[in-house]
Amino acid sequence: VSIWLQNYWMVEVAQKSVYGIRMHLFTHLQKLPITFFDKRQHGELMSRVTNDMENVSSTLNSSVIQILSSVLTFIGILGVMIYLSPLMTVLTLLIIPVMVLGLKWITRRTSVFFKEQQRNIGDVEGFIEETVSGQSMVKVFSQDERV
């Protein structure tokens, strides 16, 4: 029962957080000048809003519980390690900065690819939006074979 309550509470917290972020984003988009929208394709904006929010939502929904339980597990294991061998604990903890540096390096390299992927998805979604919204015009001029 306690695990179910924990999951329910964490999912509720995650969903409320995502809702707040979505509302903040929508309010922010409403305040932007028209030139902002003129400089960007609609598909790129839609891709950014939908994909990024979906990524945030899935991360919060799946990770919040795991992060909390992992932190508690880490603290417990660290306590046992210190009790068993303080010297080995210190030696083990010295590896963490190397791991963090490696993670930062990987993150920097992959963020370039992620940004390129988002740009490509925006281009495709923009093309699809323009094609779908322009279908009536294409049909009017009987050019649907050329498209």
The model's pLDDT over 35-91, given as tens digits with 9 standing for 90+, comes to 887 787 777 777 777 777 888 877 777 777 778 778 889 999 999 999 999 999 999
Class of domain 2-138: mainly alpha
Identity at 100, one-letter amino acid code: V
How large is the average pLDDT for residues 107-132? 80
Residue of 108, 5, 17 whose CA lies nearest to 59: 17
| pLDDT value of position 56 | 80
| pLDDT given for residue 1 in this prediction | 64
Backbone angles phi, psi at 144, to 5 degrees: -65, -25
User: What does the block give as tokens for 13?
Assistant: 């917290």
